[in-house]
Amino acid sequence: MLMGLMQHQPLLVSSILRHAARHHAEGEVVSRRDDATLARTSYAALERRARRLANALLALGARPGERVGTLAMNSDRHLELYYAVMGTGAVCNTINPRLAHGDIAYIADHAEDGILFADPAFAPIVAAVAPKLAKTLRTVVILCAEPDMPDLPLPAGMTLHCYETLLAGHNEDYAWPAFDENAACGLCYTSGTTGRPKGVLFSHRATVLHAMTMAMGDVTGLRATDRVLPVVPMFHVNAWGLPFAAPMIGAALVLPGRHLDPDSIISLLDGERVTISGGVPTVWLGVLAKLRERGARFATLQRLMSGGSAVPRALMAEYAKLGVTISHAWGMTESSPVATWNSPKPSTLALDAEARLDEQATQGRAVFGIDVRAENEAGETPWDGRTQGNLVFRGHWVASGYYRMPETSVGDDGWFPTGDVGVFSPAGYVVLTDRTKDLIKSGGEWISSIAIENIAIAHPEVAEAAAIAVADPKWGERPLLIVVPRPDCTPTPESLRAFYKDKVPGWSIPDRVIIAESLPHGATGKILKTELRKRYAG
Ligand code: AMP
């Protein structure tokens, strides 16, 4: 080692909470419980409970590298879990409770979760999937106090614990260990084109660097005086990194639990003096409609981060009238998730109000730590605002491949194919124009077009089917199904829609079904979705 060179300390997630507990001890964490009451704690108290939980995890046999599952909404308990699991060197596998039971079981099984923590409201999900997880799952912990414990039958050999009772049985005597910053800390599954979820394994190093970038002035611009409300769930790419960026800066965290309707969000934003919040556009559309209905304004809200699907320009204009700036961001689970963020450049200042809004509505420009480019057959596309290309990225918090899927590896230097298509403006702002992956994004949740098509094809009167995304003012996108009937059959859109009942979650059922004579095919016989999108997406 060179004499006098800078110190080297591993970039560990535990360092974030340790910093918050020591230097922002009073920093507040507010959580809305299931009964809508608010629980209040501080970073110092939360760190002590995380240490207790770390001891509990060790007693339950959690070992470095082992996966611990969570089925939980945004709460102080989920936050403690993040830090305790990651801090001990285990891997926090957040699972989206909105997925079909089959997918939840697939994820917990593929991740080989040994312990699963779940909100009491998700006990029925645990009851349904636990029998399929007997191979690796040994312990279930319900995130509540004893009086709220649900009746939860588990297969023989699996133990059930009450979270608060478990914590009470352990002390705070725990020192956060130091280990390699390239160890895994989180595992989040994202919908794959094949319909099966794919795991993205976050490292400590990537998570800490991503949080530091998130806090930058031209990104969230977080201050210790900010109060942050992540509406985006902690099971969607770690709530976009806000549970790491906020304590790093000392900003308060306000966690909404399962109360995500516009009324509840507005009362939390105003009542808890929130200054910045993050969520998919559908959330902000709903909140805006409610606010208009009441003829009200926000009490303290200054800025919103939004993404996950395109943020409508008109929505930004409406929020601007309320004194709230919407920052448009783009990324994916595979990029932790922030790759681009929309903030003005010096060139923006020369634009008139309309042109500024046009630029603000784009997906933004690359943040430091990630490089993004668009590629076509000729290589990287020019930044001319016209030439489309497949968007690829690489950087400190980009996945090198999917968890336990070596065939997907792009390595450390490779460009990760995002499945999004876009153009670059001359100033370097990315505009998403299309998607090559066969997925539809509705209200922040994925719908697999392949899954929708497979069900349609199983219908006795259907010969061929294709599902595409169509723009929707409320949900961003909705699935549209186009079917070609079998000879002499006349299925109706109603009968086809009814055929989906109980096969997929309600929100995955196509709103509209078009009966067509034929579908366009390419040279290899594949259905030409691009052609279908041209024909029907408008
Ligand atoms: P996820 O992995 O669930 O976070 O989804 C990532 C995908 O959501 C991206 O690859 C895009 O297809 C889409 N997406 C994310 N952000 C935006 C945005 N700002 N505008 C349009 N689509 C977006």
* pLDDT band per the 50, 70, 90 thresholds, residue 200: very high
Regarding the beta carbon of 308 and ligand 1, being less than 6 Å apart is answered: yes
Q: Which two structure tokens, joined as six digits, stand for 76?
A: 């102080």
CA of 344 to the centre of ligand 1 (A): 21
| DSSP per-residue string spanning 488-535 | T----HHHHHHHTTTTS-GGGS-SEEEE-S---B-TTS-B-HHHHHHH
Distance 463 CA to ligand 1 centre (A): 32
Q: How far apart are CA 64 and CA 282, in angstroms?
A: 38
User: Over the range 199-224, which residues count as b (16 or more CB within 10 Å of their CB) and which as e?
Assistant: bbbbbbbbbbbbbbbbbbebbbbbee
Q: Has 397 been annotated as catalytic?
A: no
Instruction: Check if 432 has its Cβ closer than 6 Å to any atom of ligand 1.
Output: yes
441 is a catalytic site residue: yes
pLDDT band of 523, cuts 50, 70, 90 = confident
Q: Is the pLDDT of residue 194 over 70?
A: no
Ligand 1 pocket residue status of 477, Cβ below 6 Å: no
As its CATH architecture, domain 13-203 has 3-Layer(aba) Sandwich (3.40)
Q: Give ranges for CATH 3.40.50.12780 in the chain.
A: 13-203, 261-436
CA 355 to chain centre: 30
Task: Please determine, for residue 192, whether its predicted confidence score (pLDDT) is greater than 70.
Answer: no
Q: Write the CA distances from 240 to 68, 80, 267, 316, 413, integer angstroms.
A: 20, 17, 23, 20, 24
Choose, from 176, 341, 397, 446, the residue flagged as catalytic: 446
- What percent of the chain shows pLDDT beyond 90? 91
CATH number of 261-436: 3.40.50.12780
Q: Kindly report, residue by residue over 279-322, the tens digit of the pLDDT.
A: 999 999 999 999 999 999 999 999 999 999 999 999 999 999 99
Task: Calculate how far, in angstroms, residue 332's C-alpha sits from the geometric centre of ligand 1.
Answer: 5
Cis peptide preceding 337, ω within 30 of 0: yes
Query: What is this structure's pTM?
Result: 0.95
Which residue is closest in CA terms to ligand 1's atom 23? 309
Distance of alpha carbon 122 from alpha carbon 95, whole angstroms:
11
Q: List pLDDT tens digits, range 75-92.
A: 999 999 999 999 999 999
Task: Categorize the per-residue pLDDT at 463 as very low, low, confident or very high, splitting at 50, 70 and 90.
Answer: very high
- Residue 24 in this model has a pLDDT that exceeds 80: yes
Give catalytic status of residue 446 as yes or no: yes
- pLDDT at residue 241 is higher than 90: yes
The pair of structure tokens assigned to 512 is 């509209």
pLDDT over 80 at 224, yes or no: yes
Query: 439-536 sits in which CATH class?
Result: alpha beta
